[in-house]
Amino acid sequence: MNNTIDISHYAAIADSIRAEAARILEQGVVTAVVAYTTGRRAGSVQPVIITAAAEAERLTFTAASVNNLAVYLTKAKKDIPRSGRIGIVVKGCDLKALVGLMGESQLQRDQLYLIGIPCAGVLASTVRPAEALIAATLAPKCRECDAHLPEGCDYVPAVSLPSAPTLEPSYAAEIARLEALTPAERWAYWKEQFAKCIKCYACRQVCPFCFCEQCLCDRNKPQMVDTTPRPAGNTAWHIVRAMHLAGRCAGCAECERVCPMDIPLNLLNRKMAKELKELFDYEAGFAVHEKGPLNSFMEKDDQSFIK
Amino acid sequence: MHPEKNNSSAFEPKIIAFVCTWCTYAGADLAGTSRMQYPSNVRVLKFPCTGRIDPVFILKAFQQGADGVLVSGCHPGDCHYIAGNFHARRRFAAFRKLLEFVGVDLQRLQFSWVSAAEGGKWVDVVTDLTETVRALGPMTEFKELALEEQWSGALTTPELKEAYLQI
């Protein structure tokens, strides 16, 4: 079985991004481009915001381009100039997040210039950014990706997407394993996972959907969630986080990637996505929905659990 | 009003009921004015609407020592604010699944529609939940978490012992 993921087209994509970013900045289509650039360590890649055509040659795209750049466009992170149209490089999963933000009126489509990436997958971790992309180093979200080719972008590099090997979805398997356990066993599992949490809130800061100006979990009048990194507050935080992302999470799995304690955060998000698909037939996708599943309703919704 | 206080330490469940003011609160009031008997284990908290009841309230109730939680409001279509209970229905359908996945016994969390005229239904719902929770025993999961947040003070590792000696 061939475990190598073919990413030979990434070099061509990087060239196309450089040319397109230079063109749109030159012609004044956009005022800034949010993209990836080469980092200081060999093979590493980091987000960058460029405002001049001359800077476009710094841009790149490799298997280490893991970041979801949509986070640089949300309200709470005012890192980029808001004065005009912004160009942004998006993978399929990132585009789903942008689409979700458009549905929540956080962004306007005409204020964005989307450069879509025909993505074959990225690394799970940036600890060793120069590593070869094989099944073992591929991000778990990419194993079950249904959005290799983003739709509705303004520009997509003209490269053909190599065929990807079929891989076993890891989240679905893990969810099934946990669902088969007894409630007490599940509680023990999550208790151990949440006990690791150090409340650094990296999961919140990196999430494109956590754009509240003041997070419920930072408020102390009333204090609904204990802020200290101890088991009770940790459990409450992770439950509240999963609930607030239910029906919104686009599955970019950035929360899980940035977690310094390796808590399987995306597992909760994927579980909620699965349940909302079953309950309300809703899935994050490329189409902008004015209302999400939890702020709309139908009279015939299931109420078998209500007496 | 008050249950007979016997000296045995038999388990009495604490039930927190989050109710909407327009239907279930009035229904509970009707049960009271009709002199119907129901377990006094239930503590009623009144909200404007079931749509106002945030899932975090349920978490907080469990953390603060509730053994069971009841959420009750107007029947679909009867909401004073037109659609609050429809939104609540979706939210709680999702929240139940989340709690189940984390490992909470869903028998401790009951949802119901009780109208202002259904004093009898209120009595039934409260009695059922109280008896279910009584049979299940105390909810220990969240309470144990709260206890674990206090460090025992035990010097369990060589590093801690060494650090202690250097003070």
Q: Please, what is the angle between helix B55-63 and helix A231-245, to 10°?
A: 160
Residue boundaries of the structural domains of chain B: 15-141
Q: State how far residue A107 is from chain B, nearest Cα, in angstroms.
A: 25
The reply to whether residue B113 touches residue A186, judged by beta carbons under 8 angstroms, is no
Q: Which two tokens stand for residue B94?
A: 């999702």
Please report, rounded to a whole number, the percentage of residues in chain A having pLDDT higher than 90.
Answer: 67
**Minimal-distance CA residue of chain B relative to A181:** B103
**Judgement on whether residues A89 and A174 belong to the same structural domain of the protein:** no
Q: Which of A234, A282, A294, A306 to mutate to test the interface with B (most CBs of B within 10 A)?
A: A306
Q: Which two tokens stand for residue A289?
A: 């929905």
Q: Which of A48, A37, A38, A153 is nearest to A90 (CA)?
A: A153
Q: Is A28 within a domain? A: yes
Q: Is A3 within a domain? A: no
Given a contact cutoff of 8 angstroms between Cβ atoms, the answer to whether A36 and A61 are in contact is: yes
Q: Which residues of A touch B89 (CB under 8 A)?
A: 297, 301, 303, 306
| Residue numbers in chain A where pLDDT is lower than 70 | 1-2, 75-83
Q: Which two tokens stand for residue A304?
A: 């078998």
Digit-by-digit pLDDT tens for chain B (167 residues) are 555 555 557 899 999 999 999 999 999 999 999 999 999 999 999 999 999 999 999 999 999 999 999 999 999 999 999 999 999 999 999 999 999 999 999 999 999 999 999 999 999 999 999 999 999 999 999 988 888 765 556 676 677 788 788 87
**Minimal-distance CA residue of chain B relative to A190:** B102
Q: 3-state class of B89 per DSSP?
A: helix
Supply the pLDDT for residue A82.
Answer: 65
**Judgement on whether residues A26 and A138 belong to the same structural domain of the protein:** yes
**Judgement on whether residues A36 and A131 belong to the same structural domain of the protein:** yes
**Judgement on whether residues A139 and A174 belong to the same structural domain of the protein:** no
CA distance A305 to A174: 26
ipTM value, please give it. Answer: 0.92
Given a contact cutoff of 8 angstroms between Cβ atoms, the answer to whether B87 and A280 are in contact is: no
Q: Strand A86-90 to strand A112-116: parallel, antiparallel, or no bridges (unpaired)? A: parallel
**Judgement on whether residues A207 and A276 belong to the same structural domain of the protein:** yes
CA distance A91 to A116: 6
**Judgement on whether residues A229 and A132 belong to the same structural domain of the protein:** no
Query: How many degrees, rounded to 5, is the angle at CA A269 between CA A264 and CA A272?
Result: 135
Count of pairs with CB atoms under 8 A, one residue in A, one in B: 124
Chain B residues interacting with chain A (CB cutoff of 8 angstroms): 54-57, 59-60, 63, 76-77, 83, 86-87, 89-105, 110-113, 125, 128, 141-142, 145-146, 148-149
**Judgement on whether residues A108 and A180 belong to the same structural domain of the protein:** no
Specify the DSSP element, H or E, that contains B19. Answer: strand B15-20
The reply to whether residue A187 touches residue B102, judged by beta carbons under 8 angstroms, is yes
Q: Which residues of A touch B63 (CB under 8 A)?
A: 232, 236
Given a contact cutoff of 8 angstroms between Cβ atoms, the answer to whether A34 and A49 are in contact is: yes
pTM: predicted TM-score of the whole model, two decimal places: 0.90
| Domain B15-141 listed as CATH 3.40.50 | yes
Domains identified in chain A, total number: 2
The predicted-structure confidence for A195-235, as pLDDT tens digits, reads as follows 888 899 999 999 999 998 889 999 888 899 988 888 889 99
CA distance B166 to B64: 39
Question: Which residues make Cβ contacts (< 8 Å) with residue A7, sequence separation at least 6?
Answer: A62, A63, A120, A121, A133, A162
**Sign of the C-alpha dihedral, residues A205, A208, A214, A215?**
negative
**Judgement on whether residues A244 and A129 belong to the same structural domain of the protein:** no
Q: State how far residue B138 is from chain A, nearest Cα, in angstroms.
A: 14
**Judgement on whether residues A29 and A88 belong to the same structural domain of the protein:** yes
Asked if A192 is an interface residue toward chain B (Cβ–Cβ < 8 A), one would say no
Question: Which residues make Cβ contacts (< 8 Å) with residue B140, sequence separation at least 6?
Answer: none
Domain with A201 in it: 170-280
Q: Which residues of A touch B92 (CB under 8 A)?
A: 305
Q: Which of A183, A246, A215, A235 is nearest to B60 (CA)?
A: A235
